[in-house]
Amino acid sequence: KGKVIIIGAGGVGGVVAHKCAQLSDIFEEIVLASRTESKCKAIASQIKRAVRTASVDAENVPELIRFLEKEKPFMVINVALPYQDLTIMDACLATGTHYLDTANYEPRETAKFEYKWQWDYKARFKKAGLMALLGSGFDPGVTNVYTAYAAKHEFDEIHELDIIDVNGGDHGQPFATNFNPEINIREVTAPCRHWEEGSFKETPPMSVSRSYDCPESVGTYNIYRMYHEELESLTKNFPTLKKAQFWMSFSKNYLNHLEVLQNVGMTGIEPILYKGKEIVPLQFLKAVLPEPSSLGPLTQGKTCIGNIIKGVHKGKEKKIYIYNICDHQECYKEVQSQAISYTTGVPAMIGAKMMMTGEWMRPGVFNIEQMNPDPFMNDLNRYGLPWTKINL
Which of 50-58, 238-246, 314-322, 365-373 is the region at the interface with ligand NDP (rule: CB under 6 A)? 50-58
Query: Would you say 35 or 319 has its CB closer to ligand NDP?
Result: 35
The 157-196 site mask, x for binding ligand NDP (CB under 6 A), equals ----------------------xx--x-------------
Q: Does 141 bind ligand NDP (CB under 6 A)?
A: yes
CB 50 within 8 A of CB 17: no
- One residue of 4, 5, 6, 8 binding ligand NDP per CB under 6 A: 8
Distance, CA of 368 to CA of 158 (rounded, Å): 18
Q: Does 367 bind ligand NDP (CB under 6 A)?
A: no
Q: Which residues pair with 193 in a beta bridge?
A: 202
Q: Does 344 bind ligand NDP (CB under 6 A)?
A: yes
- With contacts defined by CB under 6 A, how many residues of the chain interact with ligand NDP? 35
Q: Does 114 bind ligand NDP (CB under 6 A)?
A: no
DSSP secondary structure string for all residues of 38-58:
HHHHHHHTT-SS--EEEE--T
CB closest to ligand NDP, residue no: 10
Q: Does 267 bind ligand NDP (CB under 6 A)?
A: no
**Cβ neighbours for 173, distance < 8 A, ≥ 6 positions apart:** 290, 295, 298
Closest CA to 23 of 49, 59, 58: 49
Shortest approach of ligand NDP to residue 33 CB, angstroms? Answer: 7
Query: Would you say 28 or 109 has its CB closer to ligand NDP?
Result: 109
N- to C-terminal Cα distance for the chain? 41
Query: Would you say 7 or 131 has its CB closer to ligand NDP?
Result: 7
Question: Between β-strands 192-196 and 199-203, what pairing exists: parallel, antiparallel or unpaired?
Answer: antiparallel
The strand ranges marked E within 250-392 are 272-274, 277-279, 302-313, 316-327, 364-367, 387-391
Q: Does 90 bind ligand NDP (CB under 6 A)?
A: no
Which of 81-89, 145-153, 218-226, 274-282 is the region at the interface with ligand NDP (rule: CB under 6 A)? 81-89
- One residue of 36, 251, 294, 378 binding ligand NDP per CB under 6 A: 36
Q: Does 32 bind ligand NDP (CB under 6 A)?
A: no
Shortest approach of ligand NDP to residue 335 CB, angstroms? Answer: 13
Shortest approach of ligand NDP to residue 69 CB, angstroms? Answer: 17
Neighbouring C-beta atoms of residue 73, cutoff 10 Å:
20
Q: Does 81 bind ligand NDP (CB under 6 A)?
A: yes
Closest CA to 105 of 91, 89, 93, 92: 89
SS3 assignment, position 4: strand
Q: Does 39 bind ligand NDP (CB under 6 A)?
A: yes
Sequence-separated contacts (24+) of 51-60 with Cβ below 8 Å? 51/17, 51/21, 56/7, 58/7, 58/8, 58/84, 58/87, 58/88, 59/83, 59/84, 59/87, 60/87
Residue type, 34: S
In degrees, to the nearest 5, what angle opens at C-alpha 332 toward C-alphas 329 and 335?
A: 150
SS3 assignment, position 243: strand
Helical (H) or strand (E) element with 284: helix 281-288
- One residue of 4, 21, 80, 325 binding ligand NDP per CB under 6 A: 80
Q: Does 351 bind ligand NDP (CB under 6 A)?
A: no
Q: Which residues pair with 166 in a beta bridge?
A: 304
Distance, CA of 296 to CA of 327 (rounded, Å): 11
- One residue of 137, 281, 311, 373 binding ligand NDP per CB under 6 A: 137
The 294-333 site mask, x for binding ligand NDP (CB under 6 A), equals ----------------------------------------
Residues that bind ligand NDP (CB under 6 A): 7-13, 34-36, 39, 56-59, 79-82, 84, 102-103, 137-141, 179-180, 183, 292-293, 340-341, 344
